[in-house]
Amino acid sequence: MHPTLSTVRTQQKLIQTQRNNNDCYRIFNLLTSDDLLDKVEEQLPEHRERLFPPTETLAMFITQALSADRSCQNIVNQAAMQRLISGLSSCSTRTGGYCRARTRLRLSMIKNISQYVSELINDLTPDLWQWKGRDVQLVDGTTVTMPDTANNQRAYPQQRGQKPGLGFPICRIVGITSLSSGALLNAAVGLFNGKGGDEQTLLRSLQFLGTQYLIAQNS
């Protein structure tokens, strides 16, 4: 085989491998699949056709959150490479455009799509995986710290035992997970302490799915 042809084929194979391993590309295909396309489109905000439209931005954001390298630079590099592989024009690998596009994603859009996916997973779970014909829902809580910004401090004050300026904003999260499917069905976020800052209060704010369910909770 001619060495030049061999090199070209090797490069083509490498590009195809990179495309197949591009998590952002796979997530985008999932969001635009038959099962999700209508739901995603009804949640889209009004937008202009930009370099990073909402659906692509959401796919990048999900990939970024799941990646070992969660930097904005890494996900923008992935997107830029995917454009070239797909035969589109090249784009800048600066992160500013993506970061601005990410701020335009509505929280309600992300939440509604997440809940829809969870319900879809649960509906497709075989009955054999259930416990005595019932879907057991597990309730558990945790806490997370957030970047130390003025807005976060106002909404989610740091722990009382810490001196001002020496701690991070902290919030409490309570979630409902299906034992059968492992899907997170619903979650609530609230204060770490003070009024409404306990798991029972957050749990009461959540909607349970039907009557054929058993609830298991740590106490």
Residue numbers of the domain that contains 28: 3-108
Domain identity same for 43 and 82: yes
pLDDT of residue 102: 93
Report the number of distinct structural domains present in the chain. 2
**Pairwise CA distance, residues 58 & 27, whole Å:** 9
DSSP code of residue 151:
H
Tens-place pLDDT, residues 41-74: 988 877 777 788 999 999 999 999 888 888 999 9
Q: Name the band, by pLDDT with cuts 50, 70 and 90, for residue 76.
A: very high
**Pairwise CA distance, residues 173 & 107, whole Å:** 16
Task: Say if residues 158 and 135 touch (Cβ distance below 8 Å).
Answer: no
Which residue(s) pair with 173 in the sheet? 142, 189
Domain identity same for 93 and 12: yes
**Pairwise CA distance, residues 195 & 103, whole Å:** 30
Domain identity same for 21 and 102: yes
Instruction: Return the residue matching tokens 């701690």.
Output: 167
Q: Name the band, by pLDDT with cuts 50, 70 and 90, for residue 103.
A: very high
Domain identity same for 33 and 96: yes
Residue 116 placed within a domain: no
Residue type, 48: R
Question: Pick from 108, 139, 164: which residue ends a domain?
Answer: 108
Residue 115 placed within a domain: no
**Pairwise CA distance, residues 170 & 5, whole Å:** 58
**Pairwise CA distance, residues 134 & 152, whole Å:** 40
Which 3 state secondary structure label does DSSP give 82? helix
Domain identity same for 25 and 97: yes
